[in-house]
Amino acid sequence: MTLLARIAAGCAMVFALGAAPAPAAEQTPYPIRPVRIVVPFGPGGIADITVRVVAEKLTEKLGQQFIIDNQPGAGGITAARAALQGAKDGYTLALLTNGTAISVPLFKKLPFNPVKDFAPVSSLGYFEFLFVTAAGSKYHSVQDVIAFAKASPGALNLGTINVGSSQNLSAELFKSMAGVDVTIIPYKTTPDLVIAATRGDVDVMIDSYASARAMMADRKLRAIAASGPTRSAVLPDLVTVDESGVKGFEVTSWNAIFAPAGTPPEVIGVLNKAITEVVAMPDVKRKLLDLGIEARASTPEELGDRLKADIAKWTAVIEKAGIERQ
């Protein structure tokens, strides 16, 4: 090869090397700073305690603080707005619940669409409601309740918290599926409802295990059925409403982590993996079970499907009950 040819070949090689793509920049690991979880309830409730238990473990596992930001408000609107104002980078998350699914048909102008505006990450836990009577009540089963309601239309009272709550709509669903005419009495707060049930002001109370636990332990209240599809892990001897003859009846509440839509999939993957590992921890399972909650993670796809299914379910219940949209 002539000198000129060798020089030309060398120049071509240098040009080729210079034109080769530079190696991709290494992605910054997530998270590198604190993460905020916006919660649509005040401190101390079941949802708040659930997310705090999980957040503490996420802080340990991922090495950054997971901070709870309580933003209570009707329909979860205040919390949703706060979460959606954050950047779509995984550093602002939201706790959504089955109450979010109820808000879609319940509110005339909900300023967010939970299906389109949020990306599902993972569920944290599931819990059912209990059908509870006063300890001295004549009702010992759901069938006792149905028999009296059919014999005396409108005479039996079901107590729940406020209209449009999961508990209240559970009563509407029971009324519809059992084919009975009962009077549903809403109370402003859970303590008011528990007192009413203890005194016998309502024949049956529908609320969570956590709300009834103390009075059940004092033998002032007695559970006759649970609303879940299978028996509760915390009360395995308690029959379900479905087992009691109202076939297909099922109400399960859930708490779950979502991110603003557009959050990078790799970030959602990191969070889903970490949450799955956290809720499988024995101490986390134990703490939540004490509240009547079954700690259970999900894939983002499973959670998204659950949200859509619950929106459809509660839309039908609200429409059939003729509940006025707020």
Q: What is the pLDDT of residues 23-66, one digit of tens each?
A: 444 467 999 999 999 999 999 888 999 999 999 999 999 999 99
pLDDT for the residue 22: 40
Q: What is the mean pLDDT of residues 260-288?
A: 97
pLDDT at 104: 95
pLDDT exceeds 60 at position 296? yes
**Reported CATH class of domain 128-226:** alpha beta
Where are the domains positioned within the chain? Answer: 35-126+253-321, 128-226
Would you state the pLDDT for residue 109?
87
Q: Where is 256: in which H helix or E strand?
A: strand 252-260
Residue 202: CB atoms within 10 Å: 23
Helix axes 98-106, 166-178, angle to 10 degrees: 80
Say yes or no to pLDDT of 117 above 70: yes
The matching CATH number, chosen from 2.60.40.10, 3.60.15.10, 3.30.565.10, 3.40.190.150, for 35-126+253-321 is 3.40.190.150
Residue 74 pLDDT? 83
> For the residues 84-97, what does the mean pLDDT come to?
95
pLDDT at 283: 97
Using pLDDT thresholds of 50, 70 and 90, give the confidence band for residue 14.
Answer: very low
pLDDT tens-digit readout, 126-184: 999 999 999 999 999 999 999 999 999 999 999 999 899 999 999 999 999 999 999 99
Residue 265 has pLDDT above 70, yes or no: yes
- On the CB side of 137, CA atoms within 13 Å amount to 30
In this prediction, residues 1-9 reach a mean pLDDT of 42
- Note whether 119 and 91 are within 8 A (CB): no
Find out whether the peptide bond into 31 is cis, omega within 30 degrees of 0.
yes
Q: What is the pLDDT of residue 27?
A: 62
Whether 128-226 and 35-126+253-321 are alike in CATH topology: the answer is yes
> What percentage of the chain exceeds 70 in pLDDT?
92
Beta bridge partners of 95: 257
Please name the residues in contact with 6: beta carbons below 8 A apart, sequence gap of 6 or more.
none
pLDDT tier for residue 94 given thresholds of 50, 70 and 90: very high
Could you report the per-residue pLDDT of 173-212, keeping only the tens digit for each? 999 999 999 999 999 889 999 999 999 999 999 999 999 9
Burial of 241 (0-12, 13-18, 19+ CB in 10 A): buried
- The mean pLDDT value of the chain amounts to 91
pLDDT surpasses 50 at 219? yes
